[in-house]
Chains A and B, each alone.
Chain A
Amino acid sequence: MSLLTVEGLGKSYTADKQILKNINFEIKAGEFVSIIGPSGAGKSTMLRCINRMVEFNEGNILFNQQDVGSLNKKGLRKLRTNIGMVFQHYNLVPRLTVIENVLHGRFGYKTTFQGLLGRYTEEEKERAFYLLEKLGIHEHAYKRCDQLSGGQQQRVGICRALIQEPKLVLCDEPIASLDPNSSKIIMDHLKSISTEMGITCLVNLHQVEVAQHYSDRIIGLNNGEIVFNGTAYELTQEKINHIYGTKTKDLIIA
């Protein structure tokens, strides 16, 4: 069953430049899919079209049999509760504690009043601690987020996405600011989210090897077009060159 269907998606910020051109793909529930491609290819833009953080111009996006493009404000909030998001720069509120930041993930379910008073149910708090423990950062629950390392902050970001009880998690370069060790921890957690919790993951990545190692499927984007869509085994060196428009080996040597 496909969770997400993208048909003929097109996006341009300015009239003179088309950022995304006729994008078509499908993602099944529980899949772990990576999107790779050179800088400026439109990876971040494509990801943000899915939860309408960016408004797209053409095409259709169906999420869970729901037409994303035609949702009103209320429907959009509802949609976003079902889609978690993880960012390169974590995007936590640095002066608040870890647990507060995690609970921000519940805002989509709250009225304005409940949100203003910071009212969370006991179950929500229990769930927050459960997730923190699962990601191994429960001992930092009452620390301010700016006292945490990058890897720890990213795990808080993942908890914030998971407490939404999402069907899909969008990750925009979740490991681009991390060292190899923390990167591995984060990617392992993301992978286990999809295998254990059955949550679909769509991850923008810059590291081809990482994408090959973790993904069920890889989508290659170049200049706003999908130029590859297949498994890690199908992603040959030739295909990689095609996605990046150069030889990656040359890049490393140069």
Chain B
Amino acid sequence: MEATYIKRKKDGRIHIMSGNKGDIVLKWTIIILAILTVVAFLFFNYAGLELGSAIRETAYNLKVMFLEPTLNHFDLGEAFYQIGITLGLAFLATIIGAVIAFFLSLMTAANLAPVWVSRTVRVFVAIIRAVPTVLWVLIFAIAAGLGSEAAILGMLFHSIAYLVKAFSEAFEEVDKGIFEALRSTGANWWHIVKSGVLPSTFTYLLSWTFLRFEINFGVAVAMGAAAGAGGIGFELFMASSFYFDLREVGFITYSILIIAFLLEVISTRLKKRYFPATTTK
């Protein structure tokens, strides 16, 4: 007697995955990408490339960059100051973004907002998120001109979209029973947000905000160069494209690396503490 709902492969072994379309699509996407990657190498233009000297010169450049870092065009104090500016850009964009995202995500969470409001905000946020941060910066540069204003606005925009998604998902995780209990005491919506939702999600909100800060620091470095927003990114751009000073590039890279490393350490700690189950990324 065979139960019909057991799915079997052709050779009779039992499937444990439900075998939906998504899995199959994913599998084929990976296979096709792998083939394309191999094929691409065969089609490159190799004319004028001497692999030997290319590798040797790259190695030399890397050696100058990373083994002999010095500062030539500005001093250590100035370097700290520029790093401070970059951190400041990232910080402003993150904090303002987090505050705005908090209120927007109250309007997005399915358990806090009416369906039509939640859907509308969700669509807007998805559109904003679909456009890369750099593009937003350039779009704002039209109005604000290239510089730190455009950089902050662009980073802010994308941070909001990112955090709204994260925050509203955290809100939706809040136990239904808490809502029920508070509503049954006669609490209104604001009471429930303040006393039920916020305490239950506060640590999540905090660590998401910090994760975003980490991302924004990276973006702020790039924006310093690309959008002329100043900070350490701009110095990096000057050193590499204007003065061709490899040693300075090396120094700046190290300092960015140290900051990024510190941020990473803190955020890993936060994650371990608050999301013990999901240590992906």
CB distance from A105 to the nearest CB of B (A): 5
* Contact in complex: B199, A93 (CB < 8 Å): yes
Contact of B178 with A91 in the complex, beta carbons under 8 Å: yes
Q: Is the CB of A87 within 8 A of B181?
A: yes
Per-residue interface assignment for chain A, residues 93 to 105, with 1 indicating a CB less than 8 Å from any chain B CB and 0 otherwise = 1111000100011
Residues of A within 8 A of B184 (CB): 51, 53, 80, 83-85
B178 contacts across to A, CB distance below 8 A: 91-93
Chain B residues with CB below 8 A from A25, complex form? none
Give Cα A85 to B178, complex, Å: 12
Residue-wise, chain A 157-173 has the 8 Å CB interface mask toward B (1 for contact) of: 10011001000000000
B196 adjacent to chain A (CB < 8 Å): yes
Instruction: Give Cα A181 to B60, complex, Å.
Output: 77
Is B188 a contact partner of A112 (Cβ separation < 8 A)? yes
Find chain B residues with CB under 8 A from A93 CB. Answer: 178, 195-196, 199-200
- Which B residues touch A51, using CB under 8 A? 184
Is B187 part of the binding interface, using a Cβ–Cβ cutoff of 8 Å? yes
A125 within 8 Å of B by Cβ? no
When A93-B196, A115-B191, A115-B195 are in contact, do A164 and B177 touch as well, CB less than 8 Å?
no
Cβ < 8 Å to B, chain A residues 56-96: 77-81, 83-85, 87, 89-96
Are A104 and B186 neighbours in the complex by a CB distance under 8 Å?
no
14 chain-A/chain-B pairs, Cβ below 8 angstroms:
A79-B186, A80-B183, A80-B184, A90-B177, A91-B175, A93-B200, A94-B200, A104-B182, A105-B185, A108-B185, A110-B191, A112-B188, A160-B181, A160-B185
7 nearest A-B pairs in the assembled complex, by CB-CB distance: A108-B186, A91-B177, A107-B187, A91-B181, A80-B186, A115-B191, A85-B184
Closest to A163 in B: B185
Check A107–B177 contact: CB distance below 8 A. no
B44 CB–A CB distance under 8 Å: no
Closest to A107 in B: B187
Chain B contributes a number of interface residues (CB within 8 A of A) equal to: 20
B186 with A95: CB separation less than 8 A:
no
Do A107 and B182 have beta carbons less than 8 Å apart? yes
Number of A-B pairs, beta carbon distance below 8 Å: 84
The answer to whether the Cβ of B180 comes within 8 Å of any Cβ in the partner chain is: yes
Asked whether B194 is an interface residue with its Cβ less than 8 Å from the other chain, the reply is yes
In the complex, A81→B188 CA distance in Å? Answer: 12
1/0 contact string of A38-67 vs chain B (CB within 8 Å) = 000000000000010100000000000000
Residue of B nearest to A164 (CB): B185
B residues with CB within 8 A of A: 175, 177-178, 180-188, 190-191, 194-196, 199-200, 202
Query: How far is it, in angstroms, between the C-alpha of A110 and the C-alpha of B194 when the chains are bound?
Result: 13
Chain B contacts for A80, CB-based, 8 A: 183-186
Cβ of A116 < 8 Å from any Cβ of B?
yes
A64–B121 CA distance with the chains assembled, in angstroms: 43
- A-B contacts besides A95-B202, A108-B185, A112-B191, 15 pairs, CB < 8 Å: A77-B188, A80-B183, A87-B180, A93-B200, A95-B199, A96-B195, A107-B191, A107-B195, A112-B188, A112-B190, A115-B191, A115-B194, A115-B195, A157-B181, A160-B181
Chain A residues with CB under 8 Å of B191's CB are 107, 110, 112, 115-116
Quote the shortest CB–CB distance from A41 to chain B (angstroms): 20
CA distance A160 to B185 in the complex (A): 8
* Bound form: Cα–Cα A89–B176 in Å: 11
Chain B proximity of A97: nearest CB distance (Å): 10
Are the CB atoms of A107 and B185 closer together than 8 Å?
yes
The complex places the Cα of A79 from the Cα of B184 at a distance, in Å, of 10
